[in-house]
Amino acid sequence: MKLQRCSINPILLPDPTSEWECYNVFNAGVLYDNGLFYMFYRAQGLDWVSRIGYAVSVDGIHWNRLRKPVLEPTEDGVDSRGLEDPRVVKIEDMYYMTYTAYGREFTGKGKPTHLGGGILPMIARSTNLITWEKLDPLVRGEDNKDHVLFPRKIKGRFAALHRRWPNVCLAYSHDLRTWNEMDMAPIFGPRPDNDWDCTSVGGNGVPIETEHGWLMFYHAYDAAHIYRQGVCLLDLEDPTKVLRRPKAAIFWPEELWELRGDVPNVVFSCANPVVDGTIYFFYGGADHVMGLATAPLEEAVNFVLNAP
């Protein structure tokens, strides 16, 4: 299996007339709801601070943008240096966004991902996709990101994937504000004997519920820091159980705008909605522009069930 690139890629480019999104637009969360695609993309402009932009599409390829951010930093807040890599999901009648807040202070242990500051895995909610209420972080005091909510509660609780480097972990909460450390558990990590996901792994978009389990797309990089994409299958009622994890990658940098950019050799996804049996895999190319690749859901399920 290999995801198929859209022939019109890239599907979203920086706007040279805009101060806040003139350099990079990438790593977008995308939600399909009521017949439309809603994109929430990370944008960087003249000040190199990341903000969250908003765009709408009928086909997932051609987009109409709101000309101002829907989420931006607060001067003295935990996100004073930017908001990054949103992932969006609808649970019951509420929309939720998970995103990484980049601030001036690092309170965790070890070497931080972001030099000169620290990050927090934040959550926000909305009833209209435009106005967002910022909630609390999933955890504090550690270098944690790549968090995404499952599209429904599991055993009566909200469930989220998150990354405690270098592993993908699971967390539960009754209210999205309190996450019990006792409920947090690692799911899987890098495979030292596998060439493409041997150094670090992290979750992508919202897990896809199938009759066989949760279809989870994830990113990884190797010692050369080349980002590739993989897929695995988690148990429906206990996602800490990995049912299947094929050895082969399904997507990697090939196009010039994926190989060269603000960060080279990167394809990074925060969204994989399913529409009419097709997975729409939205991804950032080299931290600069947005691309789209697709695959039939049935093909992806068959691959994860049968590939070595």
What would the pLDDT profile of 227-262 be if each residue is shown by its tens digit?
A: 999 999 999 999 999 999 999 999 999 999 999 999
Token pair 């435009």 in the structure block, residue: 130
Task: Quote the tokens at residue 282.
Answer: 């939205």
Instruction: Read off the tokens for 211.
Output: 């009759």
Domain ranges of the chain: 4-306
Tally Cβ neighbours within 10 Å of residue 156: 7
The type of residue at 160 is A
Question: What mean pLDDT is predicted for residues 149-170?
Answer: 96
Q: Which of these, 307, 299, 187, 189, lies nearest to 248 by C-alpha position? A: 307
Q: Which range (47-56, 62-71, 126-135, 173-182) has the least confidence? A: 173-182
Four-way CATH pick for 4-306: 3.40.50.300, 2.115.10.20, 3.40.250.10, 3.90.1010.20: 2.115.10.20
- Residue 118 near residue 142, CB atoms below 8 Å: no
pTM: 0.96
- Each residue's pLDDT tens digit, 103-145: 988 777 767 777 778 999 999 999 999 999 999 999 998 889 9
Q: How far apart are CA 71 and CA 155, in angstroms?
A: 31
Residue 47 has pLDDT above 80, yes or no: yes
Summarize pLDDT for 61-77 with one digit per residue, the tens.
999 999 999 999 998 88
Q: How many CB atoms lie within 10 A of CB 20?
A: 19
The DSSP symbol for 240 reads: T
Checking DSSP bridges between strand 208-210 and strand 213-221, what pairing results, if any? Answer: antiparallel
Find the distance separating the first CA and the last CA of the chain, reported in whole Å.
Answer: 12
Residue that is written with structure tokens 């550690």 in the block: 142
